[in-house]
Structure 1
Amino acid sequence: MTVRSRRYCALRLSRGMSLRELGRQITYDYSHLSRIESGKSVPSAGVAEKVDDLFGAEGYLTRLASAERAALELHSRNSEERDDVDRRSFLGAATGVAASAGLDGLENVRRVLADGHMRGPEEWESIVRDYGHLYHVAAPSVMLPAISADLALLGKQINVPCDANAQRQLSRTAAHLCALMAQVLANSGDLVAAPRWWRTARQTADASGSKQVQVWVRGRDAMRALYERRSLPDALRSAREAVQISLPGTVERACALAAYAEVAGRLHLQPQAVSALHQLADVQAALPRDVVREEASQFGWPESRTTFTELYVYTFLGDAKNALRVADAALAGLPPELTRRRGQVELQRATAIVQDGSVDEGVQHAFSVLAGLPKEQRINVVTDLAWDTYRAVPAVDQIKPAAREFRQFLQMETTA
């Protein structure tokens, strides 16, 4: 039985309904329903919708059936006909159900993709760019099965002998995907697996021979240590190494400098943090326009990203005046759909408001920002910033109602 057929059967039995009764309810032959439940046949879209409506499954059974049909279609086609559109349409259907279907659903996705054709390095780079855009808007539960499926296929392909140049290109893609996997795992709350993926990302980046990929991975790794409860002195060393090997005027150098500035700011190393901010501003001014325009991608470096780093550094250095000054600039360039990024900026603003002496106002602002975010966007990089707002509240004010209620809300969020 497939994941889909088991769900159909379980829902029917939970309602004490026979196959004959189900057939009468949806006006469909019960013998064919038996084949559907046994996994020997896949329901049409019409049948799936009727069963969905009858059981009140809110589209879940329809998505399962859609993913299964897409998988069968993809599996049966000749490998030369499987283009990028096939992959995207299949993942679009499959990832909508993989998270709720559990490991069985994820394994089905992996197996179908692992039987696919070998993708060229350019196609893999396009896939990575897609994930770079999805990262800031998609929930971890959506990203995780999709990246897992592609890593399974890439892991199989990367071990197939090919020329040295193609091997290095595949290693670059693997490094980017491993780094994205590390971030998504941490965002989903798995702070044990995430560091292992960061180590793999660094090793794969080194194997690629690309300084740019090595710098990008080390910069992201150092930056994420701030939110993943890892050693900040180690993160500072990693960021310093990334800066030292980075090329002038590149997005990778911007990433490395931002990481160094943020970690140094968190460690209250004011001269180092401020110096890195000045260098970052110079790099920002020299970046190509296409890189600056990539507002919603992990691989771009818009001005709002630099101003966020300024905001972060000034906040942790306790410089509330400068933090409040740059908060509006950090927010101005962010599109409305980047709700998580905007929430991070507003939480930094809340901390600066508290530091500036308006404790109740800052706490209430943080409370409203966090509560206003969709549940799936309240990931650890967001809730950690909210905790920073609370920790900025002086001890004598933490017993006041606003701060006490905010702490209770944060505790519920982080233990949910």
Structure 2
Amino acid sequence: MSRAERRAKITPEGRARGARLRTERDRRGWGRRELARLLLDTIDDRQKPSHVIVAGYIKEWEEGGGISAMYRTAYAKVFDLPEGELFTVETQRRTLEATVIPDDGDDDVERRALLQLLASLGAGAALPASSLEPLRSGLEATLNAGADIGEWEHVAWEYGHTYVSTPSAKLVTDLAADVADVQRLLDRTSQPAARARLLRVSARLLALMADGLHSLGADGASRRWWRTARHAADASGDLDIATWVRARESFNALHSGRPTRSALLLAEDAVRIAGGRPSLGAVEAHKNCAYALARQGDADRSKKAVDAMRATFERLPEEVVSDTGSLWGWPERILYLAEGYVSTMLGEPAAVAAQEKALASYPAEWRTDVAKIRLLQAITLVQGREVKAGLEHAVTVIEAFPSDRRRGSVLHLAAKVAEDLPDQAHALPAARELRALTAGV
């Protein structure tokens, strides 16, 4: 059978299987020849082919071609994965749904796979929207040569408005496609001013991707995307973007299990880059310095950071203060939340009043921040020896919160409620339930 004939027989399941194999190989950083040698090392056959020939097989398998039982077993050994997990239909379907950035495979294969997927609709099969992404992305690369950068700036702006209400999995999937498009546009853009604008867009999208990955529990991947976001921001030459990316990462670090010292260093670096200029990133950086120092029990420096945050807030542009519906705004209510957080972490009597002031300033639809304020109230109850009431309050807050919206900042604050319980309180039903709700944090 010729290569063209083999390609003509590729099925949607085969293409999904190939994407899965390619993803696992890329994850390990192996080239096809390196993988070929590893596969051959597991095969006990004196007449086995050379690694060059097997590298050719791998290319065909990753394009969706059929694979023999011998090589399925070899793959499972090399990838250290159960063969059933690696090659099941369900795994293949999930892999296809997750493949949103196309590789540089043959265009005929992409078109044929699409036609086969569309044909499957006639049989009542569901078509994952991401299966269409290779076709759309290829067309975008052709049409987008003279793209309006202002349109991409609007895309990034719009993400800041939909971020709060978008489930993390959908956010990451959508961002992946747009990041790929911006990357291709950057590759074709040499004019310095245009590149700087695209790099600013990239920095914003990359930071939101890092945030979304953290919310999905992929903390290792999140840190790598934060690093790339910082590089993009720095390459843009825009100090306000460089400040904001570090301030946002600092906030993320405070709620991802990273050392508090790491969050503080990021926030201090953002303050340094800001150089006294009032900006969204600068006020956020002072806030996160205050948070980190309060966690460390450094009351004096934490309160100085709160003062710096308030002073910076008073100098913010009106469009930042008045934006109450997106990530690109910093309205006054964030001041009240920050003051409530710091006074709670420091165990101060003023915490109750600060929490009530913050709660009154937040509209109900900002469920994440409202939940955080209510969890601060739970911490204060536990600090005041009303342990059972505090635990039950925290459980009620988390159970009422949508499971697909339980971002790290909420879960880490919930875990904080149970952090310093008296020994006898660990056995309380509410304590066990809260630990179960925050498991893995």
* TM-score band, normalised by shorter chain: 0.7 to 0.9
Give secondary structure in 1 for the equivalent of 2:438. helix
**Number of equivalent positions:** 334
| Distance apart, 1:235 and its partner CA | 2.4
Structure 2 Cα separation of the partners of residues 318 and 115 of structure 1:
59
Structure 1 Cα separation of the partners of residues 410 and 421 of structure 2:
18
Give secondary structure in 2 for the equivalent of 1:117. helix
- The yes-or-no answer on 1:364 pairing with 2:392 is yes
Structure 2 Cα separation of the partners of residues 105 and 365 of structure 1:
46
- CA RMSD between the two structures: 2.8
Counterpart for residue 190 of structure 2 = 162
| Distance apart, 1:353 and its partner CA | 1.9
Residue identity (%): 29
- The yes-or-no answer on 1:131 pairing with 2:159 is yes
Counterpart for residue 8 of structure 2 = none
Q: Which moved more, 1:207-216 or 1:402-411?
A: 402-411
Give secondary structure in 1 for the equivalent of 2:219. coil
Counterpart for residue 314 of structure 1 = 343
- The yes-or-no answer on 1:218 pairing with 2:209 is no
| Distance apart, 1:114 and its partner CA | 4.5
| Distance apart, 1:381 and its partner CA | 2.2
Matches within 5 A, 1:207-286: 207-246=235-274, 247-286=276-315
Query: Structure 2: which amino acid aligns with 1:126?
Result: H
Counterpart for residue 18 of structure 1 = none
Query: Structure 1: which amino acid aligns with 2:307?
Result: H
Structure 2 Cα separation of the partners of residues 116 and 347 of structure 1:
49
Task: Indicate how the Cα distance of structure 1 residues 405 and 377 shifts in structure 2: closer, same or farther if over 3 A, else same.
Answer: same
Runs of 4+ in 1 over 6 A off after TM superposition: none
Structure 1 Cα separation of the partners of residues 138 and 222 of structure 2:
24
Task: Indicate how the Cα distance of structure 1 residues 188 and 106 shifts in structure 2: closer, same or farther if over 3 A, else same.
Answer: farther
Query: Structure 2: which amino acid aligns with 1:216?
Result: W
Deviations 1:230-281 (A, max 9, x none): 2322321221121122143322211111121111112222111110101111
Counterpart for residue 401 of structure 2 = 373
Query: Structure 2: which amino acid aligns with 1:161?
Result: T
Structure 1 Cα separation of the partners of residues 292 and 141 of structure 2:
39
- For the 8 Å contact 2:167–2:405, the answer to whether it is kept is yes
- Unpaired runs of at least 5, structure 2: 1-10, 17-88, 91-113
Query: Structure 2: which amino acid aligns with 1:264?
Result: L
TM-score (norm 2): 0.69
| Distance apart, 1:356 and its partner CA | 2.2
Structure 2 Cα separation of the partners of residues 153 and 339 of structure 1:
32
Deviations 1:77-102 (A, max 9, x none): xxxxxxxxxxxxxxxxx4xxx5xxxx
Structure 2 Cα separation of the partners of residues 105 and 385 of structure 1:
40
Deviations 1:172-215 (A, max 9, x none): 11111111111100001101101111111111111111110111
| Distance apart, 1:385 and its partner CA | 1.1
- For the 8 Å contact 1:106–1:145, the answer to whether it is kept is no
| Distance apart, 1:228 and its partner CA | 1.8
Task: Indicate how the Cα distance of structure 1 residues 280 and 142 shifts in structure 2: closer, same or farther if over 3 A, else same.
Answer: same
Counterpart for residue 88 of structure 1 = none
Task: Indicate how the Cα distance of structure 1 residues 224 and 409 shifts in structure 2: closer, same or farther if over 3 A, else same.
Answer: closer
Structure 2 Cα separation of the partners of residues 369 and 113 of structure 1:
44
Query: Structure 2: which amino acid aligns with 1:296?
Result: G
Give secondary structure in 1 for the equivalent of 2:433. helix
Larger Rg: 2
- The yes-or-no answer on 1:338 pairing with 2:366 is yes
